Amino acid sequence: MSLEVVDVSGLVTIQDSGRKGWRRFGVPTSGPMDAFAFRAANKLAGNPNECAVIEIGLSDATFQIMQDCVTAVAGVGYKLSIYIWEFPLWSSFFVRAGWKIRFNKTDDGMWAYLAVSGGIQTHPILGSRSTYLRGAFGGFEGRQLQAGDVIKTVSLSHSSPEIAARTLPEEARPVYTQNQTINVIMGPQANYLTDESIQTFLSSEYSISLTSDRMGYRLEGPALTHRDKTELISEGMTFGAIQVPSNGQPIVIMADGPSTGGYPKIGAVASADLPLLAQCVPNQSRIRFRETTVTKAQEKYRAVFEGLQKIVPDE
Amino acid sequence: MTFKPKIVPLGDSAVLVQFGDEIELATNQRVRALANLIDVSSTSEIIETVPAYATLLVHYDPLILSYAQIKNYLLVKMAQVADNQARKPRRIEVPVRYGGESGDDLESVARHCQLQMEDVIRIHSEKIYTVFMMGFTPGFPYMGKLDDAIITPRLKTPRTRVPAGTVAIAGSQTGIYPIDSPGGWQLIGWTPLQLFSPESESPFLFSPGDEVKFIVEK
């Protein structure tokens, strides 16, 4: 059982829920840029949360399904067509052998996820199928997908068309917009920056630089000023950590970002808001940051993911 | 001096335990002792720990644990930890070809330290280093501390590509690039050892806490 990559012009990789347990050796988790859409795609396809899917980013992509199966697509920034019809995202579909699934880029988002019932079956590295581009391992030969690649999927003993044609209602999705307010838990090194800079960060508009990638989103906007030291001795980092290097332009660490770093971290993006930030388009989106508490951030995160669980129950 | 560790959040899915803010072996041993204690007693609620020079980052799942719960858990563990809980270190010998094409900065390091190149090689290879932490790229060991005589700042402009196996120094640290990557450290030599083998049973040559001795290869 397989699917074939017919055509790609963007950044298309295989990702599962991420590579866990190796950060102490310097291995980033990788995994999806938008963990909500990733999980929704797997749920709609009837898969466990950690299953490998195809992440489509930045531009158009076309795939051909080689056997009848259930697929699901979730994400933002694409128009989806299957065979000869247009379909909405955030839905599951029963697809016939030979049909093509096309993703055409629109300007309201960045990443979409194509899940195939049973999951993508590439060879796991360090316990995960996620692609880590800089390390050139994981996923499909450690690289972006190219036209002609044939990706193995699992052979399901029974086909289950009854899970097709399900949609995640709009009210169960976070509000993706290109004019976004992102919640941030401040610290642990906010005190490396002047009080004035903290105020600037929390009251100004930022955009995302075109040099951003799966490792980090570089913010463009008013520069922040360090009080004194611009570096600390290296320590652990996380997806969402906001570092401020010596030039004062903050960088948000994303899925492929390093596991450790030596620039002061002014704070970290709330987990529930990471998908919203990930879907912001470089040079177009306008982003503001708002301070929140750990407790509030965790409540929101649980509400978002538990909402998903209720609406699309496990098979 | 013992610094009372502080627990602070890094976002809503990680907490940082801060033991100090200097590169000191004693501080680093306390970090690793806590990491080891958590690893042996850990449940699925804790995803993983990342020991660094003077801090331990603990990644957890906020769908299972609240911040208050992880903080309490860590306070209990910190009360149980003994400073000698760090594992007995392994000793790893690393053959190095100093200088030449892969050790492009050996000459400028010698000039900066007002030493002969032979002295830099002797001083760098004499000491036994500790792997304080790993990070940057898969398998990169941050080792130290260098003898004061060869402390050299990092490059003003990083190189866009440093080959795998390159031995380098920066500040009071020394390291080895496990994969081809950009790099801002001073390159002084090269080792044929493979630091990262993704398909192997034990994918990493080093672990935090290992002791390392460089052996001069002619």
Chain A contact for B64 (CB, 8 A cutoff): no
* % of chain A at pLDDT higher than 70: 96
Cα–Cα distance, A63 to A3 (Å, whole number): 7
Angle at B168 between CA B162 and CA B172, to 5 degrees: 140
Question: Which residues of chain B are within 8 Å of residue A258 when distances are taken between CB atoms?
Answer: 135-137
Chain A contact for B19 (CB, 8 A cutoff): no
- pLDDT tens, position by position, B97-156: 999 999 999 999 999 999 999 999 999 999 999 999 999 999 999 999 999 999 999 998
CA distance A44 to chain B (A): 20
DSSP A108-176: S-SEEEEEETT-B-PPPBTTB---BTTTTBSTBTTB---TT-EEEB---SS--GGGSS-B--GGGS---
Beta carbons of A302 and B208 less than 8 Å apart? no
Beta carbons of A24 and B48 less than 8 Å apart? yes
Which among B10, B134, B199 has the least Cβ separation from residue A26?
A: B134
Beta carbons of B139 and A305 less than 8 Å apart? no
Among the listed residues A108, A36, A38, the one whose alpha carbon sits nearest the alpha carbon of residue A72: A38
| pLDDT mean over A191-199 | 97
| pLDDT mean over B72-77 | 94
Angle at B100 between CA B96 and CA B105, to 5 degrees: 90
Q: Which of the two residues, A159 and A212, has the higher pLDDT score? A: A212
User: Does the pLDDT value for residue B2 go beyond 60?
Assistant: no
- pLDDT tens, position by position, B15-63: 999 999 999 999 999 999 999 999 887 677 799 999 999 999 999 999 9
In A, minimum Cα distance to B7 occurs at A188
Which among A20, A136, A294 has the least Cβ separation from residue B47?
A: A20
Question: Which residues of chain A are within 8 Å of residue B59 when distances are taken between CB atoms?
Answer: 23, 238
Cα–Cα distance, A168 to A84 (Å, whole number): 23
Among the listed residues B179, B134, B206, B181, the one whose alpha carbon sits nearest the alpha carbon of residue A259: B134
- pLDDT tens, position by position, B173-202: 999 999 999 999 999 999 999 999 999 999
Q: The tokens of B86 are what?
A: 């760090």
Mutate to test the interface with B, among A233, A237, A254, A292 (most CBs of B within 10 A): A233
Cα dihedral B89/B93/B97/B103 (nearest 10): -10
- pLDDT tens, position by position, A248-271: 999 999 999 999 999 999 999 999
pLDDT band per the 50, 70, 90 thresholds, residue A165: confident
Average pLDDT in chain A = 94
Cα–Cα distance, A175 to A240 (Å, whole number): 18
Beta carbons of B137 and A135 less than 8 Å apart? yes
First to last CA, chain B: 43
Beta carbons of A234 and B137 less than 8 Å apart? no
User: Does the pLDDT value for residue A315 go beyond 80?
Assistant: no
Predicted local distance difference test score (pLDDT) of residue B88:
78
Question: Which residues of chain A are within 8 Å of residue B140 when distances are taken between CB atoms?
Answer: 26
pTM score, whole prediction? 0.94
Average pLDDT in chain B = 93
Predicted local distance difference test score (pLDDT) of residue B156:
85
Beta carbons of B11 and A270 less than 8 Å apart? yes
Angle at B36 between CA A236 and CA A254, to 5 degrees: 20
pLDDT band per the 50, 70, 90 thresholds, residue B1: very low
Angle at A165 between CA A164 and CA A166, to 5 degrees: 95
* % of chain A at pLDDT higher than 90: 88
Predicted local distance difference test score (pLDDT) of residue B45:
79
CA distance A106 to chain B (A): 31
pLDDT band per the 50, 70, 90 thresholds, residue B161: very high
- pLDDT tens, position by position, A90-102: 999 999 999 999 9
In A, minimum Cα distance to B13 occurs at A271
Predicted local distance difference test score (pLDDT) of residue B86:
59
Predicted local distance difference test score (pLDDT) of residue A306:
81
pLDDT band per the 50, 70, 90 thresholds, residue A314: low
Question: Which residues of chain B are within 8 Å of residue A259 when distances are taken between CB atoms?
Answer: 50, 135
| pLDDT mean over A192-201 | 97
Cα–Cα distance, B108 to B130 (Å, whole number): 25
Beta carbons of B23 and A135 less than 8 Å apart? no
Q: Which residues of B84-108 are buried (b: 16+ CB within 10 A; e: fewer)?
A: ebbeebeebebebbbbeebbbbbee
User: Does the pLDDT value for residue A210 go beyond 60?
Assistant: yes
Instruction: Tell me which of A43-52, A156-165, B28-37, B123-132 is least confident.
Output: A156-165
CA distance A65 to chain B (A): 30
User: Does the pLDDT value for residue A313 go beyond 90?
Assistant: no
Which among B10, B12, B198 has the least Cβ separation from residue A126?
A: B198
CA distance B79 to chain A (A): 22
Torsion A275-A280-A285-A290 (CA) sign: positive
